Amino acid sequence: MNVVVNKKWFSVFFFIVLFFGNAFSQQSETHQLSKNVAAYFLAENPSTLKQKLKDVTWDKNNGDEIYVELYQRKKPSTTSLEKILKDFKVDGTWTDIDYTDIKASGWQLKNHVDRILLVTKEYLRENSKYYKDQRLKKLIHQGLGYWFKNMPQNDNWWYNEIGIPKSFGPILIMMRNELSKQEYNDGLKVMRQANFGRTGQNKVWQACNVFYKALLTDNEKLAQQARDTIVSEIKISKSEGIKTDFSFHQHGPQQQFGNYGLAFFTTQTSYAAIFANTSFQLDTDKIAILRNLFNQGFNQLTWQGYFDINSLGRQFFKHSQELKALAIGFAAVDLIKVDANNKNSYQQFINRNFSEISESNLTGITNYFTSDMMVYRSKDWYSSIKMSSKRVIGAEAGNNENLKGYYLADGACYISVTGKEYDDIFPLWNWRNLPGVTSFESDTPLKVLPWSGYRNNADFTGGISNGLNGIMAFELNRDSLTAKKSYFFLNNQLICLGAGITTLNTDAVTTTLNQTWLKGAVNYFTDTVKTLKPASEITNQKVNWVYHNNSTYIPLENTTLNISNKTHTGSWHEIIAKYPNDIISGKIFTIKVTPEIKPQNSKYAYAIFPNFKPHNKKVKLNFEIIQNNNKAQIIKSKDNNVFLMTIYKPLKQHIKGLGNLEFKQPGLYQIEKIEKQWKITLADSTQKLNSMDIIFNDKNYHFKMPKDVYKGKSIHRILD
């Protein structure tokens, strides 16, 4: 009998231990994750990035969530925090926030919640001057009280379901032990606005808010579901998200590196750090994808602490290039924590962009074949080119952002030596004269793009590369304007050819070489070196070269130029409507091909030598243009070692220094001599071909082209 009783009580005891053990385990895991969230938000910023963060000032009109997250990292000065206290009213509001604001982007009432988060961090940060300051505590509770009483809503679902809970979650988690029961319950009402759903980065943000909600309710099962939803988007996608070339798409087949892509990346790296050393931590495959997204994506797009303009999406906010670059820096810090074996590449990014160690140790060409975009990096300068096709959306406008970006993906080609060439130039740009773009000249306001964006009505768009030499090319077919445009990177120089430029539109057509801030003199050479007079313009000018701010521009094949250094005026309001309509002015350098009315098969040719200054004489060229017409655009190095060829139609031709060639299909071809052998790189720029064929010096070569998600990718082969 005693044996039976003992067995019975042992079973009961075992069940109790198992039940409460599991309950304790779940509670301890959510408790640890809550501690990780608090530790992440209260952490000190790395010294290298802290100095840059000091320069980030509050901009109530900046609707970029990347900017908001950066500002939330900032440790406020005593002056700014005292002002926050001074401007706070007894009803729980601030005097400098417009509580009647209903804007769908840059909603001022979100500033109320973000400010509470900032104050909460100072209240709880142990090394803060304001640690456990009763004034801050009172402000936090009164500020929460205002929100809970009024529960403000915005017509833009994003704020209600994502933006507001995203800031509330950390506040409630960090202040949980100091919240009243009523505050806790009201806080959960806010968090319950977030549920699983949406797509892409919006799906991730929603899941992050559900994760906060799960921690607040000690619901490990829900927390696990949220975690799994967050990391489920860390994958190579056939639709939106991370692409096979490690570009990023959202809102359809549209490159969104700096907008949704960067938000995705910084969110994933921050949660990778929060999940670390728990059962929620990311597996090695997910970490590897984030590492590749960094190395092949964001790492390539930042130069001297400035983010690539072609990757901004629609977010042409003030200081956007610097702010987005800095956000990548903080993501690199998170990756050092969770991917320590590869910390060198992350640390090199930080050193290269935010410290005295500024020499570039990252060189080469990256072709984003799913996004119609290419990036070039040498040790001295940077360039990116963005195009569009029937496959890829060029740009979008929405939320009254990107109001002038009509030509953003028509071959825009930016060149940076210092990184500062275009810093906050956007209100003063002539947006018809974007660098690299062939477009109509007109005083008529540009059309505002729809949310659906636009596509260039042509298939032929693509790029190839083999090291530091390569091609980006496309057929432009938009608004009754057609052209064939090639950009050749050869021996650390950029050579641009245009042909077949045709329209019956009565507006003149031009191609812009560059449009940057004016810095220093503009010199040009005819028979002698001359200097452009201040605030002036010369037109239809035959010159040997033009030099301005570290770059030399060389017109070729009788191309004539218009050059100006005039003062432009404009307003940030014209770019993003939420900014006030304050007129500003500045001096701008513009260099473009002389405009032509109703061109018929016109062409241009020019070269740009960045980080090169000529010496009072004609610049010696180390390349030759072989062909520039509707059939092909071909150049070669003078030593006959490199041949770069854009072939628009099947072509049979003898090329001096190379031999007889027959191209059976249109495409991009690059042939280089490497150790006495010819190596070919080629790509199907229409992304429609199963194979490509050439006859080279009477020998047939057959190439199977990449399929499915790898269409458009370059292939390489030795020609024996």
**467-487 tens-digit pLDDT:** 889 999 999 999 999 999 999
Into how many domains does the chain fold? 1
Closest CA to 544 of 617, 648, 647: 617
The CA distance from 424 to 717, in Å, is: 44
Residue 267 CA: distances (Å) to CA of 34, 165, 344 = 17, 15, 22
DSSP 311: G
Neighbours of 703 (CB within 10 A): 18
Q: Which pair of tokens denotes residue 4?
A: 């039976």
DSSP 91: T
* Predicted local confidence at residue 198, as pLDDT: 87
Helix, strand, coil abundance in the chain, percent, nearest 5 = 35, 25, 40
Q: Tell me whether residue 679 is in a domain.
A: yes
d(CA 443, CA 702): 51
What pLDDT is attached to residue 552? 98
How many Å apart are CA 153 and CA 576, to the nearest integer?
23
pLDDT at position 23 is 44
According to DSSP, residue 242 is labeled E
Q: What is the pLDDT of residue 15?
A: 45
- Specify if 549 maps to a domain: yes
Task: Kindly report, residue by residue over 538-582, the tens digit of the pLDDT.
Answer: 998 899 999 999 999 999 999 999 999 999 999 999 999 999 999
- % of the chain with per-residue pLDDT over 90: 89
Residue 408: per-residue pLDDT: 98
For every residue of 331-364, DSSP letters joined together read HHHHHHHH-GGGHHHHHHHHHHHHSS-------E
Query: In terms of Cα–Cα distance, which of 200, 208, 217, 211 is closest to 254?
Result: 200
Q: Is the pLDDT of residue 1 over 80?
A: no
CA torsion sign for 377, 473, 306, 230 is: negative
pLDDT at 13 over 50: no
Per-residue pLDDT band for 18 (boundaries 50, 70, 90) equals very low
Residue 547 belongs to a domain = yes
Q: Does position 360 have pLDDT exceeding 80, yes or no? A: no
Which tokens in the block code for residue 421?
């060439």
Residue 151 lies in a domain: no
The reported pLDDT for the residue numbered 678 is 95
Packing angle of the helix pair 320-338, 262-275 (nearest 10 deg): 30
- Tell me if 398 is assigned to some domain: yes
Q: What are 107-152's pLDDT values in tens digits?
A: 999 999 999 999 999 999 999 999 999 999 999 999 999 999 999 9
Question: Which residues lie below 8 Å from residue 449, measured CB to CB, with a gap of 6+?
Answer: 395, 396, 397, 402, 405, 406
Render pLDDT for 611-633 as a digit per residue (tens, 0 to 9).
Answer: 999 987 889 999 999 999 999 99
Q: Residue 438: give its domain's CATH number.
A: 2.70.98.10
Which carries the bigger pLDDT value, residue 350 or residue 357? 350
| pLDDT tens string 290-326 | 999 999 999 999 999 999 999 999 999 999 999 999 9
Beta-ladder partners of 248: 242
Residues 166-225 have pLDDT tens digits of 999 999 999 999 999 999 999 999 999 999 998 888 999 999 999 999 999 999 999 999
Count of beta carbons in the 10 Å neighbourhood of residue 654: 8
* Helix, strand or coil, per DSSP, at residue 16: helix
495: domain range?
365-719
Percent of the chain with pLDDT over 70: 96
Angle at 143 (CA atoms; ends 141, 148), nearest 5 degrees? 90
Vertex 380: Cα angle to 379 and 385 (nearest 5): 95
User: Is residue 219 in some structural domain?
Assistant: no
DSSP letter for 710, please.
G
pLDDT higher than threshold 50 for residue 19: no
Mean pLDDT, the chain, as a whole number?
94
Using a cut of 0.85, tell me whether the model's pTM lies above it. yes
Residue 713 placed within a domain = yes
414 φ, ψ to 5°? -100, 145
Q: Cα 33 vs. chain centroid, distance in angstroms?
A: 31
pLDDT at 5: 46
pLDDT tens digits for range 242-270: 999 999 999 999 999 999 999 999 999 99
Q: What digits encode the pLDDT tens for the residues 28-49?
A: 789 999 999 999 999 999 989 9
Classify residue 211: in a domain, yes or no. Answer: no
